[in-house]
């Protein structure tokens, strides 16, 4: 049974420190994963303006984000200039790609995407997704063929762009198993590999339990594998920094449970896409996350 790991890389410190640590841990465990990079300005400091949005202050307190990332991270794009991830993180992207890991695009400006993507028009969405794709190709000399939306934020225009930009598949949603997305009766012919498990960040924010117990909670959820396996989302800002030991423990636990830990590409290769069900995509919430995400809805015309 396969368990795929996707790793989100959004900021300077996560890119320069967290992502290489995770790549090393995965290599040591002979495990695969897919790394998704934001490649525009790091405006993490704009999060300070969202502190008093519903649930955000509680979320940051329980996950200890400010303490763990360092104050400087939360000043980028506000009191400090926004570093260019496409420049600063290019060497990391190349090194991880050359090490044999699958890589893809997450966003151009990940903060702006999380704030605007749900309600933005086709022009803005198209520009942002093209900027990320073009930056990726400028760095690696080859096109990106897989997309994972920042914050699991999408809309009709973004789904359409996954087709127009010729992504082979995407991981933009939360759900239970791979599917062909249908947005308001419009079929999007770009398969979705949704995140099927809660993230460590969400478990910490939702329950406030110690990080050591988070591993046990995740392993309990994967103890009995379903027919499709699982997709787990890690973040270079969490598992790559404070929670590296817990991430390594998870890898070991999943090995003991009999999982083959793979990239989304290898997970996708094990699927007959002709047999994928069609599911509606909807906007909703998941425990431990203060904002809405895109969710796998009911089977279309079931």
The band of 52, judged by pLDDT with boundaries at 50, 70 and 90, is: very low
Per DSSP, 76 falls in state B
Q: What is the pLDDT of residue 77?
A: 45
Distance (Å, whole) CA 293 – CA 158: 14
Contact by Cβ (8 Å): 109, 45: no
Q: What is the mean pLDDT of residues 7-26?
A: 96
Contact by Cβ (8 Å): 119, 155: yes
Q: How many residues does the chain have?
A: 302
Distance (Å, whole) CA 188 – CA 192: 9
Q: How many folded domains does the chain comprise?
A: 1
Query: What rounded mean pLDDT belongs to the chain?
Result: 90
Contact by Cβ (8 Å): 257, 216: no
Q: What is the pLDDT of residues 96-135, one digit of tens each?
A: 999 999 999 999 999 999 999 999 999 999 999 999 999 9
- Identify the residue with better confidence: 46 or 135: 135
Per the structure, the complete domain to which residue 71 belongs is given by: 2-299
Cross-strand bridge partners of residue 275: none
* pTM given for the model: 0.90
CATH number, position 196: 3.20.20.370
Q: What is the pLDDT of residues 171-223, one digit of tens each?
A: 999 999 999 999 999 999 999 999 999 999 999 987 767 777 899 999 999 99
Distance (Å, whole) CA 153 – CA 60: 20
Q: What is the pLDDT of residues 245-262, one digit of tens each?
A: 999 999 999 999 999 999
Strands 230-235 vs 186-187: parallel, antiparallel or unpaired: unpaired
Q: What is the pLDDT of residue 74?
A: 55
């Amino acid at each position: 049974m396969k368990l795929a790991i996707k790793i989100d890389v959004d900021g300077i410190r996560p890119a320069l420190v967290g992502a290489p640590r995770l790549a090393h841990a995965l290599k040591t465990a002979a495990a695969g994963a897919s790394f998704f990079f934001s490649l525009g300005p790091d405006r993490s400091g704009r999060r300070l303006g969202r502190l008093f949005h519903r649930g955000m202050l509680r979320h940051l307190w329980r996950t200890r984000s400010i303490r763990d990332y360092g104050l400087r991270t939360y000043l980028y794009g506000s009191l400090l200039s926004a570093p260019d991830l496409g420049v600063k993180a290019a060497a990391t992207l190349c090194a991880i790609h050359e090490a044999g890991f699958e890589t893809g695009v997450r966003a151009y400006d990940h903060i702006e995407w999380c704030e605007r993507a749900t309600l933005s028009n086709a022009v803005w969405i198209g520009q942002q997704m093209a900027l990320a794709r073009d930056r990726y190709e400028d760095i690696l000399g080859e096109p990106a063929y897989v997309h994972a939306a920042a914050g699991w934020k999408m809309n009709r225009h973004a789904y359409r762009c996954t087709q127009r930009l010729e992504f082979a598949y995407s991981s933009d949603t939360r759900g239970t198993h791979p599917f062909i997305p249908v947005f308001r009766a419009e079929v999007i012919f770009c398969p979705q590999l949704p995140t099927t498990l809660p993230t460590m960040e969400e478990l910490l924010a939702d329950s406030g339990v110690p990080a050591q117990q988070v591993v046990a909670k995740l392993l309990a959820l994967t103890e009995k594998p379903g027919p499709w396996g699982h997709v787990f989302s890690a973040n270079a800002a969490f598992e790559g920094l404070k929670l590296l030991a817990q991430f390594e423990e998870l890898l070991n636990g999943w090995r003991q449970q009999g999982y083959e830990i793979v990239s989304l590409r290898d997970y996708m290769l094990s699927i007959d896409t002709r047999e994928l069900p069609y599911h509606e995509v909807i906007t909703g919430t998941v425990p431990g996350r203060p904002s809405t995400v895109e969710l796998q809805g009911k089977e279309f015309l079931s």
